[in-house]
Amino acid sequence: MKYQAVIFDLDGVITDTAHYHYLAWKRLAESQGIPFDEAFNEELKGVDRMGSLALILARGSRSYTQEEKLALADAKNRHYQELIATMTPQDLLPGALEALEAVRAAGLKTGLASVSKNAFTVLDRLGIRERFDTVVDAARIANSKPHPEIFLTAAAQLGLAPRDCLGVEDAVAGVASIKDAGMVAVGVGSPEVLRRADYVIPSMREFRLGDY
C-alpha cells in the first residue's frame, strides 16, 4: 500500500449535514431580507462559517459591524446545533462506514479534516468518533479551505508526510486543499466539477482503496 493514511472530509463524504446548513443559513439570510436558495448554497460548500456569512451578507444592501457579524454567525450556529442534535448513525452516507472499516483493515490510519467547528459533535452523534486516529480541531485552524492548512495539520497530527496521505473530499475548495497540501485527492461527486481531483467517484459506495 503506497499510503499510510486516508484523511476524510466530513460533510458530503461521511455524512450529509449540507441540508442542515442550508436550513440554518436560509433562516439567517431571510431574517436579514437576503434571498437564499439551494443554488447559492452550493457556493458555500467547503467555506467556513465566517466566510459563508460574508458571502451571504455581500448580497444584501447594508453593512454590518464585526459585533453584528459575530452575533449572526452565533445565531446560525445555534440553529444548526439544534438540527444536528437529531442525528443518529442512520445519517451516515451509504458506503462511508465501509470505507472507514476498509482503511483500518488495511492497516492505515484515519484522519478527519473538516472546517466544521461542530465536527466532534457530529461524529459523536454518528457513533464513529473512535474510528478516527486524529480529528483536526477547526477552531485552531487559521486558514479555511481551499488553503491546505487543515490537511497539512491532519498529516502532522498523524506523524506523516503529506505524500503518504490520501485525501477524500466532495467540494472544489476541499480538493484544492488536498492537492495544495501535496496529497493525492479522491473527489466524491462529478468529474466535471472536481477537475483537480486525481480520482473521482460518484459516491462513497464506490470507494475502493486499491484503486488509488
By annotation, the residues acting in catalysis are 9, 11
How far is the C-alpha of 43 from the C-alpha of 51, rounded, in Å? 11
Q: Which of 205, 117, 158 is nearest to 7 (CA)?
A: 158
Helices marked H in 47-144 — which ranges?
A: 49-57, 66-84, 96-105, 119-126
Q: Which three cell numbers stand for residue 171?
A: 467540494
Residues 6+ positions from 200 with CB-CB distance below 8 Å: 186, 187, 188, 189, 190, 191, 194
- Please report which helix (H) or strand (E) contains residue 29, including its range: helix 18-31
For 32, counting Cβ atoms within 10 Å of its Cβ (0-12 exposed, 13-18 middle, 19+ buried), the class is middle
